[in-house]
Amino acid sequence: MVIQENLTDVDTVLPAFESVLEEEKYNSILGSFYVSILQLTNNDDIISQYDLNDLEKLYECLLGLYKTDLNLFIDSAYFQWNVLDNPDKAQKIIQTGVKVGEEKIAELITLLKEIDQNK
């Protein structure tokens, strides 16, 4: 999920967003957005609550839950590469994402052919 460039007051958004996460029982779709905005905060109180390994584990959990979310593969790979400085792990995530994408494209092509044949 790409964070909007005009999201300037992350430190105000985060507490409200955490409240929404609690109400929604930590909905994993919202979790993807949450891990992205956590990376933008400059608030030392918020930063001290999380270790980079926590964010890495959250990405891993989200990828386990949403195995076909290509945006999540992109975000996770960027995090590994840019934040954790782990290009090897980023490449593995990308390779898995590409494989998933290719499988989904194949499914779409098959469905399109079936539709065309049954017109």
Whether the predicted pLDDT of 2 surpasses 60: no
What does the pLDDT look like over 7-20, one tens digit per residue? 556 666 677 667 77
Closest of 42, 50, 43, 55 to residue 84, by C-alpha: 55
Alpha helices in the chain (DSSP H): 10-23, 28-38, 44-47, 52-65, 70-78, 87-117
Asked if 6 and 33 touch (Cβ cutoff 8 Å), the reply is no
CATH dotted code for 10-117: 1.25.40
How many whole angstroms separate alpha carbon 30 and alpha carbon 99?
Answer: 25
What confidence category does residue 73 fall into, taking pLDDT thresholds of 50, 70 and 90? very high
What does the pLDDT look like over 77-111, one tens digit per residue? 999 998 899 999 999 999 999 999 999 999 999 99
For the chain, the domains span 10-117
Neighbours of 80 (CB within 10 A): 21
